[in-house]
Structure 1
Amino acid sequence: MRSRMLKASAIGTALVVGSVVLTACGDDGGSKAEKPAASESGSAGAEEQSTAAVRGAYDKTAEAETAKMTVEVKAAAGGQSVTSDGEGAIDLADGDSTMTLTAEGKTIEQRVVDQVLYQKAPGQKSSDGKSWMKIDLKKVAERQGANPQQVGDPAQSAAYAKAITDDDVSKVGTEKIDGVNTDRYKVSVDVARLPGGARLRQQVGPTLPMQIWLDDEGRIRRQQVDMTIKAPASAQPEASASPQQVKVSTLMEFSDFGTEVDAEAPPADQVADMTDQVLRGGQNQG
């Protein structure tokens, strides 16, 4: 049970996080933090600058239109761990992407087109012989509301900006990523301010620790999100004396801004729609 739950969490998070990371973010929204009074120390001004840099990063990254992307998801529970890796390219304007994901020695081909996730695993076919499965991400989000996997959903990227205040951001230094100079920030996202925050708070806690690395143009080069997910009661082993938790760390990197992205849906006669099964599974888990 634990191994199955852990694998599902790791791969499931990678599916959504790796699918689309930044869709059209629009403005950074939310109320602006009040400016410090003139009598306050200069550190307040530095904090405000850091917050502005982080909050504006999503828009500035989206302005690059496209990028190559890698994602690494590590999940651990009950003394076991699973790591999944992905690489591909993403259209930062509409969220379409192509990726290859690898977990536990298995490779999955993935595409996201018009908010629909398509996946193909070698040697695996549906009961009617179709080699691709699809999940309507928008339908799942509308029916289930926020869940831990949606923390990495690109549709929530703008929401990060709205959920960050001056007290939530601190600059911790500089670092080179693939030869590019970056500023590194630690961020604490107020989960209650995210869409579906009430439900999400029950599953991941009140705050979401995040680190973000920005280049000289204010674009995201690396982002790391760490969370501890509380498993639904229905997923708990019967003999478990305490709630099962899965610790998930997701690391994303962006490079080669402006790269070509060619994401197309597979032929319809090769696709099996798994959306309803996903929705039923979510309902069974409470």
Structure 2
Amino acid sequence: MRSRGVKASAIGTAVLLGSVVLTGCGGDGASEAGEPAAAGESAGGRHQSTQAVRGAYDRTAEADTAKMTVRVKAAAEGKTVGSDGKGAIDFEDGTSTMTVTAEGRTVEQRVVDQVLYQKVPGQKKDGKSWMKIDLRKVAEQQGADPGQIGDPAQSAAYAKAISDDDVNRAGSEKIDGVDTVRYDVSVDVSRLPGGDRLREQVGPTLPMRLWLDDDGRIRRQQIDMTVKAPASAKPEASGSPQQVKVSTVMEFTDFGTDVEAEAPPAGQVADVTDQVTRQGQKQS
């Protein structure tokens, strides 16, 4: 059986899909209101909160599988666009299925063997209806370890990039009838892979909220950020906004659910990995 760390990497893959793949459909950065952060939390209490956050990915992965939803909103230049994704994920190997609805269109999405497949209605390439993106190659282009694609300790590095001063226990809330504790977390961007470039785009810290159930599992994760265009980008040429506010909310329910996903028939698949990586290089 694979280690907890490997299984937890699948959660990071879900985060990756929510914050990268879905961002193109993306929110207004508004976060949900909760109870105020606990005032005067003791040093021991802060340490316990940090340990709870650091252990959340492993404890969630112990459930093996879960249903998940990913909601993304992105706002730029007075316009807001949103997307909603529903599906299921296998924490053992990152296999997942998801249906994403955005701007009146429904996209079918699968991840099998760290390869993303997407089917967009009315969109074909070379007569093929499925688009394929090799997430490992994308990771290499971004300077990440392809063997750790989606690992929270690599692609997000949440567990390593926080200290006791970065976590606040913010009170109790119910999510779908389940009792949870919310933690407000400030992630040190400089300690993330590619931190120097990321810092230029999102600033020195990345605000994150986690809602953990009584078993220490993630029930909800929310990341709000303002993404700035790279310094090398030329707005007059690209026509792209220079700043986008993005809010990504991911939820897990129905732990232990069945997950079935297969790669589409090869004859129906067009590989667009190189195209995606070239676009990423132009934006870096």
TM category (shorter chain) comes to 0.7 to 0.9
Work out the percentage of aligned pairs sharing the same amino acid: 74
Aligned position for 1:72 = 71
The partner residue of 1:218 within 216, 219, 222 is: 216
CA shift, 1:194, in A, is 1.4
Is 1:279 the equivalent of 2:277? yes
Aligned position for 1:140 = 138
Is 1:154 the equivalent of 2:150? yes
| 1:68-147 correspondence runs (5 A) | 68-126=67-125, 128-145=126-143
The question of whether the paired residues in 2 share the 8 Å contact of 1:233 and 1:285 is answered with no
Per-residue CA deviation, residues 255-280 of structure 1 (Å, 9 max, x unaligned), is: 00000011111011100000011111
Aligned position for 2:43 = 44
Which segment drifts farther, 189-198 or 253-262? 189-198
Structure 1 125/12 Cα, relative in aligned 2: closer, same or farther at 3 Å?
A: farther
Q: Tell me the amino acid that sits aligned with residue 154 of structure 1.
A: G
Aligned position for 1:171 = 169
Give unmatched runs, 5+ long, in structure 1: 1-10, 18-40, 147-152
CA shift, 1:155, in A, is 2.0
Q: Tell me the amino acid that sits aligned with residue 197 of structure 2.
A: R
Q: Tell me the amino acid that sits aligned with residue 228 of structure 1.
A: T
The question of whether the paired residues in 1 share the 8 Å contact of 2:152 and 2:159 is answered with no
Aligned counterparts of 1:55 and 1:156: Cα–Cα separation in 2: 10
| 1:195-206 correspondence runs (5 A) | 195-206=193-204
| 1:247-286 correspondence runs (5 A) | 247-286=245-284
Aligned counterparts of 1:250 and 1:228: Cα–Cα separation in 2: 12
Which segment drifts farther, 198-207 or 96-105? 198-207
Aligned counterparts of 1:155 and 1:121: Cα–Cα separation in 2: 27
Structure 1 93/239 Cα, relative in aligned 2: closer, same or farther at 3 Å?
A: closer
Aligned counterparts of 2:223 and 2:133: Cα–Cα separation in 1: 24
Per-residue CA deviation, residues 179-221 of structure 1 (Å, 9 max, x unaligned), is: 1000011000011111221221121111000000000000000
Q: Tell me the amino acid that sits aligned with residue 214 of structure 1.
A: L
Give unmatched runs, 5+ long, in structure 2: 1-16, 24-39
Aligned position for 1:13 = 19
CA shift, 1:144, in A, is 2.5
Structure 1 83/157 Cα, relative in aligned 2: closer, same or farther at 3 Å?
A: farther
Q: Tell me the amino acid that sits aligned with residue 168 of structure 1.
A: D
Is 1:244 the equivalent of 2:250? no
